[in-house]
Structures are given as C-alpha cells and as structure tokens.
Structure 1
C-alpha cells in the first residue's frame, strides 16, 4: 500500500471516529440537540405496528442478520477468499468483523444508553442501545463487500449493481432496527460510523490486494542473455482506463528489470495477428497480451513456434485459457506472473472444416448445444452483465435438437452417435468451471472428446451431477474419447464454436493437436 493510500484510509478512520465521538457525547450526556430526531423512531415504530406482513419481514431480517447470521457470513466470506488465495483480504475480513463486534460490545456497556421504551414487545431487547450491534456488523460487512467489488469485479455495470445491492442491504437492516423500535435512529448511525472507523483503520495497515507471486522467489536462470525487450498487445475495449493500465505495466516492468514496453492495440479488422507478427519481427523477448479469449488465441497462434513466451492478462468474459493455466484474474497479479513467471510449453490445435478457413484453437472446439449458446449470446447484454448473458442464452438453447454425428479418432474406424453437443478440449475446465474433461491437460499432446446426449429435459440434471462429480462412467448420456487427431462430421448443418467464439454452421470439424507448440508464462 502506498503512503498516499494509507493516509487516505487513516483520514477516513479519523473522520468517522470524530463523528462517532460527537454523536456519542450528545446521546449519552446532553441529548437535547437530537431529541426531536430520535423521537421520530416512535412514529416509525407505530406505523410499522399496523403492517402485520411488514413486521414479519422485519423480524426475519432481525434474526437473519443477528450475531449468528453475521458470524456465518464472515466465516463463509473468509473461506471463499482463502480458497481463491486472497489471504490478505481474508485476514482483513476477520480483523474488521472481530474488532467491530468487540468494540460495539465494549462501547455499549461503557456508554450505557437504554433502549427506546416503545420497542416491539416480541423478543424485547434489554441490553444497552448505543451503538447498534446489527448496524455496526452489517456496515462493516458492507464496507468489506464494496472494497472486494472494487478490487476484483472489472465490469463496471456489475460492480455498480453489486454496490447498489450492498448499500440497499445495509439500509434495510438499519431501517429494521428503527421500525421494530429496538434502537433510536442515532444508534444505527453510531453503529455504522463505528464500523467505518474500524474498517478504514484496518485498511491502513492490512493491504487486501494479492501480493507479488514472484517477488520473493529467486530469479530464474537465463538460458541466454537477452535485452529483456517487452512488447504489449492490448485490446483497448477490455480495460476501463488504458492510461492507468499502461502506467501499471510500465512501472511493474521497470521494477522487474524489463525495458520500456512497446504498445500495440488490436482492432476489429486485426484482433491480434498483425501485432504479434510485428512484435516477433522487432525481436521482443516477451509478449504480453491483454484481452479476451479471442485476442489471446490470435496472438498465441502467431507466436507459436517462435520460442517467444506469451504473458496472458485475462480481461474477457470467459478467460478459459488463463483459468486452466492458473493465471489469476486480478490484473496486478497477472502482470506479475507475465513478467516474472516461468515458461511452460503447451499444446495448440490446428482445425479445419467445411465453409471455414483453416485456423487453430487453444482451449476447445464444439458442435451443437454449446455452439448454439455462443451463437445466441446478445452482445449488448454481454457488455452489460458479462457471463450472465451466456446463462440466458443457455436456457434458451437447452433443448437444442440432437444430431447424428460421425466421429473418428486418429486412424480408428469412425463411430456414429446421437448427440446434442460434441466438445473437443485441450484443457479440463470449460465455461463456468465445468469439469467436462477432468483428465485433460494442456501439454499432454492429446485431445479429449466428450459426447453429450440428454434425451429429455430432465436428463440434464443427472448429466450435471455426473459432470460436477467428475464421474468416469461412460454411456449414451456421456461418452468420452481421446486422441491426437479428431474428425467430427454431422448429418445436418450444425452450429460450431472455437474457444467460445461462434464460427457459424457447418457439418465438419477436423482437429490435430500440435504438442508443445507455444511458450506461455505461468505461476511458479
């Protein structure tokens, strides 16, 4: 954390603490300035008493977000962050929630303000009132959620939606305390100010951002001396602030001993091929590509076989290649790995078929239901809500009709199947983290094929259960094959996709795995 960031956090803590202290003085010593404001709580409680359904909802909110409920939420959030290897963010969550709870309890006993005498009789609270424990715990948790949304959610629309939902939840709980008469309005304000004080104070000393993955590791031995020339290929529509991104990469590159990077931007006409070619010709020792799966695929294909490693900064919706290589989606961590990670030789796949030019893919190809999903995605919705657009398209395409397909693996005799979708993968995890091909690895020189044929709508349920359980059972519902060369031929025109991008309808796909063709930067 920079000194400026720490000073801002300390400033926020000081302001919240000062406001809390002033409020605490007035409500416990000389309440005259706030009497009129607090007595409005009686009117609100009287109004709520006449709304039977509302009272039931308020009591549910009271129980759900009490001490037990917030403890469960805290533990769950910390565990999720730990599983995603965000240890410092998890520590911040535990510290903020624990200190807030302790401070609330201590201050309640010290200040000793009595509860309102008009509170709802059912489940009447008899302990002290200021500050509100519900308000402080929810405000602390809400502040943590907003921080995590700002840090880890790139899409502006989703981040704003999340922040609005979090603030609405906090306001609901605060209003619940007043409408049930459990607290004066100043109690919930005081609880929220206390939570913000603890949050900002903890934030000044605990940086929740992921630490440098390679920063503490010993430098990798150089096979040959290089000038450490760095080229960056960026899809400019995939980052919110191009200038900020350039500054981040340049500063981290300088810290890691790389040259000032050269920059190239992709266009609709050239999604990365020409830029990658120019970077290779200019003698770059490392090429960093920032964009979605389509941009990454084009750059990787052009640099395959050159011996120039590719650093991937995932900035798309699926980011399938990055996910399967263990590259984090947090931009700073991904840049760190691109600059300081180790090189890994991975496979790429050459692909051809009818009504298409010969091309390639890094992650997967498919015919049928999965391709219909990609074809049916509304791009405007995708820009606004990201991966949810795929869910909407998937629901629309769920009963895509089964087709008759002929599949040939290597030089074996072709086999005939009925299938709703056929997927050929170079990796194990596909969209939404589904382990459709659990035995697939990206550097084994082998393609994994899965044939899915749920006969009825309800057949998707056992299919999903078997996929998530990584079942090895093979039958008509889920069939699996492996080989270095795969040919799929459908009886009718069928939607097709490569790495999540629709390539139109056709009847054939021919694929061959090229072993160890590309060098990519991965975590050490």
Structure 2
C-alpha cells in the first residue's frame, strides 16, 4: 500500500519534484558504480558477506531448478513480451499515453543498463552457478532494473486506473514480492553481487520517475484536439458537485482534482454538496439548481446518479457523471470513461445529450424515475441479497455470489400491458424493463434498446430449471431475436406489470421492496447528460 500511496501522490506532483527524486535514484546508481569501479572496501565486504564467496552459492538441486525458472521468467525475452502485452492493452483501452509511457520507460531502462554495464565492466561473481553460465558484465543487474521498472509502471497504472484500495494493496504486495524474488534469484544463483541488484532497482525506479516527469501517462482532455462546441458559454460559469463521500477514498483529494480541472476548463470554483444516508442526492441536486448552477457533476454509484438525474430532469441543467459505483450502468451505456480524471474531463468539456427518463409508480412506493432499468423477480432478489460489506471489498464479485444464490428464484405469474393494451399473462423468474441495451457485465439483455428513442424495452425470462440458464445466456449473448416461453420481449412507451404475489422490485439496482405492481412511462428527452464529443 505504501508504494501505491507514494505513486498515487507522485502522479499529482510537480515536474521539479519528480525530477528531484529521479536524480536522487540516478545519483545513487552513479555512486555505486564509482564504488564498484574503485573496489571500495566496505562495498567489497558487503558483497562478500565477510565470508567465503562460496557462502552465496546454492547447492540444493530443487531450489536451483526453481531459481532457474525465475531467471527465465524474468529474462530479456520474457520482460519484452510482458511490456508489449501491457502497452498494447493500454493502447487498445484508449490509454495511449500510458502505452507510450510503459514502452518508453522499459526501453530507456534496458538501454541504460547495457551502457552502464559496458562502462563499469564488473566481472560476474566467482561463485556463479556453473550451469547456464553468464559471461557479460555484472553491474547493474538487468533482471533487477527491468523488473523494478515494470513493477513501477504497473503500480503507476494501478494508482491511476484502479479505485478500490483492496486491489491496489494486492498490486503493491505482488509487485514487491516479485521484485524481491528476482533480486534474491540473481544473488542465490551467483549471477550478481548484492550491489548489482540494488543498483538495478534504483536504475529502474529512476526511469519510472523520470518518465512521469517528462511524459505523464495521464490522459489528455478528450476535447483537446476537437473543434470547440458551436455554443460559446460566458466565463465564470457556476459549477456544483454532488458527491457521495463513501464512494471515494479521499474526499479532499477528489475535491482538489475536480477544482483544479474545473478552473482550467473555465468554470468557477465548484460548490460542494455531499449526500447523506437520509438524503442520497435529491436535496443536494435541488439546492444546486436553486443556486443557479450551469452544470451539476454527480459522483457516486447508480443510486446516487438516479436521484440527482430525477431531480434535475426537465430543468435544462446538464448532468456530468463521474462513475464511482460497482455497476455504473448509465455511464457505461453512454460511453463515459470509468477512469475518474477522464470522466471529470468529459463532464467539464463534453457535449450535452438529451436522454430519456422513465417515470415509475407502484404499490407501496413514492412516484419515482429510473434512467437504466427496473425489475421484478430474480434480478431484484439479486440486488437485495448483495452483502454491502462484501461489495466494498470485492466489488462486482458480490453480485455474482448473490446471483448464484438467487438463480432459482421462484417463478411468478405476471400480467403485462404495453401502451394501454390488454394485459397478457406470463410465467417469469424475472421481468426487466430497460432504457438501455447493456446491463451488468456488458450483458446485451435488451439489444434493441436505445436511451433516446422514446421507448422502453421489456424482457421476460423463465428458465424452467437450473441448467436452463445456460442456453438462455447463450441466446442473450448471441442477441437472438427469437422469442418463446423461456425469453420474451416487448417494446412500448408505457408498460404496466402486475404480479400475482408480492415480488422483489428494484430501480437502477436499488431495491425498493416487494410489491405487486410497477407502472412505467418513458419521458422522451427529459434529461441532459454530458457525454464525450
């Protein structure tokens, strides 16, 4: 976690700060190189442990075989392959600067390692394992410099892209253990002196920091190379931010990032409205509207986004979404990036898109809205059964666990009416009414749905047995249009559902309690949302 905290803070540090730490790493490498070249006695004693040099050697055959596997797994060919895979993955995901950063840091580290080896000219230890003998120069260790550089890159990208502290802690521990393992491998096989691996680690760390100073992996504004919007807005625009504080690790840091990006984009310093358990977003959005905000940014999960959107629907005030939940379904369907800085950038500099809202009434609930979906049956039972403590630790896996428990939710009899027509009777384990096409895990449950077509889509699922879910899943993923008793679809502007018994219900992933009725109507173009240009 310490490494992640350091690198997370470093991402926001000045170039001078980064260059200073990079210079310190390179300076220590230079001092080590000078000491090695001059045969400084304390260093020689440290490298030889004050004992026979054979003391470093390893005789156990099983351990030697394992160390050889480590040597190959982190050799030049393997590290080149890891770098290419990482860079390509970042490039495909749209993080091109991160891809160039990774490739550049690894390339420079490799070149510098080779040059320093030639300059220092240190021989390999006399106790080197005779099998697979290496004959080139020893200082600094190429294995150590490359694994330190790649590990640092991984931690930078994790700090940049991953919000969950548990995942970042896992990355910290994994990278640290791998670096230590590779360094021990080089010494125990007799390939390097301890100072060789220390010098290699410092060299790799120095280039990670130098890369951050010279070429930041943070993405640039999506609007940087796009023509300005036709409408010219006056300076001094009012900005409000509705924040669910439990969805961000450091509220102060988040506020600092938003404020600096907002001022840079020409907005006023934002006013902040934090949600509470008693008021999950409605009151905060209303206050922002009354204060005359020209843009309201909401940061939270689907529930917080739904509350804010419902309140601002019809006001003409655009909503910028910074997804910070587990599902983030509205953001995903609108193409809003999940990376916090990129989402803030879209909210501040994107274009407005009019999307539909769906009004909802039913027994035992107040009149409400949803932007993504409503459901009765299995999907609502799934949402209801999610362990919140577990969700905080493992994210979407908590939904998978709850889903496995709820798969055989009892089928119920439901009557459905579309656009005021006659009710039709069905058996269903779940009924989902969606305003978008893709639901959890990118599932194209409603492939014909569009968020701005003035229609809502209904899917009725009735797998008869546990194993019936498997072919049903294939049909959904294949976007098959065929309907039958297992999967049926309907489309209209107004949809009413009546269940024969009390059935769990949900709106945008939030349980609203059991009931027998839901009545929904699509309100076309009701809400303005900021989306990428």
Q: Same fold (TM over 0.5)?
A: yes
User: What residue number does 2:350 align with?
Assistant: 341
User: What residue number does 1:441 align with?
Assistant: 450
Q: Is the 8 A contact 1:435 1:468 kept in 2?
A: yes
User: What residue number does 2:220 align with?
Assistant: 211
- Count of matched residue positions in the alignment of Structure 1 and Structure 2: 521
Structure 2: distance between partners of 1:329 and 1:277: 26
3-state SS, counterpart of residue 21 of structure 1? helix
Q: Does 1:50 align with 2:81?
A: no
Structure-2 change in CA distance of 1:14 and 1:452 (3 Å) = same
User: What residue number does 2:153 align with?
Assistant: 144
Select the residue among 38, 48, 60 that pairs with 2:47: 38
Q: Does 1:450 align with 2:433?
A: no
Unaligned runs of 5+ in 1: none
Structure 2: distance between partners of 1:473 and 1:72: 44
RMSD: 2.9
Task: Show the 5 A alignment for 1:74-113.
Answer: 74-113=83-122
Q: Report the Cα offset of residue 28 of structure 1.
A: 4.2
Task: Show the 5 A alignment for 1:20-31.
Answer: 20-30=29-39
Between 329-338 and 358-367, the greater mean CA deviation after superposition:
329-338
3-state SS, counterpart of residue 451 of structure 1? strand
Q: Does 1:510 align with 2:507?
A: no
Q: Report the Cα offset of residue 364 of structure 1.
A: 1.3
Unaligned runs of 5+ in 2: 1-9
Q: Does 1:426 align with 2:435?
A: yes
3-state SS, counterpart of residue 232 of structure 1? strand
Task: Show the 5 A alignment for 1:280-291.
Answer: 280-291=289-300
Q: Report the Cα offset of residue 304 of structure 1.
A: 0.8
Task: Show the 5 A alignment for 1:54-453.
Answer: 54-222=63-231, 228-453=237-462
Structure 2: distance between partners of 1:454 and 1:127: 65
User: What residue number does 1:16 align with?
Assistant: 25
Question: TM-score, with normalisation over the residues of structure 1?
Answer: 0.89
Select the residue among 474, 496, 500 that pairs with 1:487: 496
The superposition leaves residues 65-113 of structure 1 with CA deviations (integer Å, 9 ceiling, x where unpaired) of 3233322222222222223322111110110112222222333344333
User: What residue number does 1:499 align with?
Assistant: 508
3-state SS, counterpart of residue 284 of structure 1? coil
Q: Report the Cα offset of residue 17 of structure 1.
A: 0.9
Q: Report the Cα offset of residue 302 of structure 1.
A: 1.0
Question: TM-score, with normalisation over the residues of structure 2?
Answer: 0.88
Structure 1: distance between partners of 2:378 and 2:100: 43
Structure 1: distance between partners of 2:200 and 2:423: 70
Q: Report the Cα offset of residue 195 of structure 1.
A: 0.9
